[in-house]
Amino acid sequence: MRLNPDIQKKLIETAINARQWAYAPYSHYTVGASVLTASGKVYEGVNIENAAYPTSICAERVAIFKAVSEGEKEFTAIVVATENGGSPCGSCRQVMAEFGLATQVLIIDAGGKIHMESTVEGLLPGAFTPKDLI
């Protein structure tokens, strides 16, 4: 399923704009993310670093966790914005997989150029999902 161009533009703008709130004093690699839920709501997230590096969290997970904390569990799309179009880490891919392999994923740079269009399944083939626990 392709995203409506107006919705895609809004998600891209939201992810790019969110980068300004990132807390990245160590890497200086700011990331913004926007998630579109099945109900039509948009949630944004930023990466938040910590001096104890393992306790940092990525923008994708912040956006998803914000949505989940407000009752959303079905996602249509996620946009990830970095300076250079960097791809989501493995932990973020696994969290995305938890909520749907068909979710559309756009990876963009700071100028809004799309570097990759995929689905979560395309980013994480053979994902471990809730059905694997049965």
Which three-class secondary structure state does DSSP give residue 3?
coil
Q: Which residues contact 26 (CB under 8 A, 6 or more apart)?
A: 49, 51, 53
Contact in structure between 44 and 32 (CB atoms under 8 Å): yes
Contact in structure between 38 and 75 (CB atoms under 8 Å): yes
Ordered alpha helix ranges (H), 1-134: 5-18, 59-69, 90-98, 120-123
For 59, the token pair is 């923008």
Q: Which residues are catalytic?
A: 60
Q: Which residue has the tokens 């395309």?
A: 122
Task: Please work out, in degrees rounded to the nearest 5, the angle formed at the alpha carbon of residue 38 by the alpha carbons of 125 and 111.
Answer: 70
